[in-house]
A and B are shown apart, each in its own frame.
Chain A
Amino acid sequence: MSNSKEFAAGLKDGIPICLGYLAVSFAFGIQAVLSGLTVFEASAISLLNVTSAGQFAGLGVMTAGGTYIEMAAVQLVINLRYALMSAAISQKLDSSVGTGHRMGIAYGMTDEIFGISAARKGRLSPFYSYGAILISVFGWVLGTFLGAYSGQILPDRLISALGVALYGMFVAIVVPVAMEDKKILMAVLAGVILSTLFYYLPVLRDISAGMRIIIVTVIVAGAAAVIFPDIPGEKNE
């Protein structure tokens, strides 16, 4: 496929992400202004970070008056999963794809864009990523702006309902893959059970959310890799 066709395909696949992001970033914009940020600052955070959980956690550090080191540590822990996703996507790129393109793709490595990129058949074209990133980031920043601008006039009930938008998106990414591959399904169920145990059990529940996500992911994905090392799409070399 030509570069412009790849770009168009990315744009098209990015439309639902854009709309999903509008809802989630709207909630972020509201929260940012409640935390004392200006509309411009809130929008700048969304444009420069493009993360959901990381941005919400960042607001927490700011309002608590945390140090810059603390901010860096929180972002590192919560967003470390992107390193795993980037490593996974590095395997879908042709080795001829240069550093510039790799740096471009990295900017938009979100859970959702990763999801559609990983689901792409064969090699991933950087132009597909650019299309998906362009429209998704547009939705993410626009939603933040609108939320920050109009947040205070929205009823609490609506803000509460928007709280599940992010998770609804995650469900929509995981379920189709889990239905297709029973090994993913088992790994996902194990992850959910372990995560719940970590959330409620004494001692374990003192672990921060970001750290819990990483620990459980490494344990479960590690165990799955050992138990089911044969994954689909692998030519047996």
Chain B
Amino acid sequence: MQGNTYIYIFVMAAVTYLIRVLPLTLIRSEIRNKYIKAFLYYVPYVTLSVMTVPAIFYATNSMYAAMAGFAAALLLAVKGFKLMTVALGACSVVFVLEFFI
């Protein structure tokens, strides 16, 4: 490491906070434009999906185990299970499968 760790941490935290705080403090009134409203409605779910696929397939030692973990997460979520169950279910499938791969 070349730079100062604490300056790195400060830069990370400052940039991240500014990104979060500016829209919340600057946008005070309701946005009327229905296209902008619709855009903001779709953004979070599209972002999360794009972050997940295909990155999840490379998140473990074995890609096949990761695919099975992803399938397990989808199945559990469709069945209506909550956050923790879905996340730990996916981890468990990967954990067990990697004994065999």
Contacts and interface: CB of A to CB of B under 8 A. Distances in A.
Interface of A: 15-17, 19-20, 23-24, 36-37, 41, 44-45, 48-51, 53-55, 58, 61-63, 65-68, 71-72, 75-76, 79-91, 93, 95, 99, 102-103, 105-107, 109, 111-112, 114-115, 118, 156-158, 160-179, 183-184, 187-188, 190-192, 194-196, 199-200, 209, 212-213, 216-217, 220-222, 224-226, 228-231, 234
Q: Which 10 A-B pairs have the closest CB atoms?
A: A175-B77, A168-B87, A168-B90, A161-B95, A65-B2, A172-B86, A163-B59, A16-B83, A48-B13, A106-B21
B69 to A, nearest CB: 4
Contacts of B53: 192, 195-196
B27 A225 contact: no
Contact of B47 (A37, A102, A213): A213
Contact of A72 (B1, B11, B35): B11
Given A58-B8, A192-B52, 7 more contacts: A41-B5, A65-B2, A86-B20, A160-B60, A167-B55, A167-B59, A216-B46
Interface string B6-40: 11110111011101111111011111001111111
Nearest to B48: A170
Contacts of A49: 12-13, 16
29 contacts: A15-B84, A20-B84, A50-B16, A58-B8, A61-B8, A62-B3, A71-B12, A72-B15, A79-B20, A83-B22, A84-B44, A90-B23, A161-B91, A164-B70, A164-B90, A165-B91, A171-B73, A172-B77, A174-B45, A178-B45, A187-B42, A187-B45, A188-B49, A192-B52, A195-B50, A195-B53, A199-B54, A222-B39, A229-B35
A217 B1 contact: no
A23 B88 CA distance: 8
Interface residues of B, number: 79
Nearest to B77: A175
How would you classify the secondary structure of chain A's contact residues: helix, strand, loop or mixed?
Answer: helix
Contacts of A76: 15, 19
Contact of B45 (A23, A103, A177, A228): A177
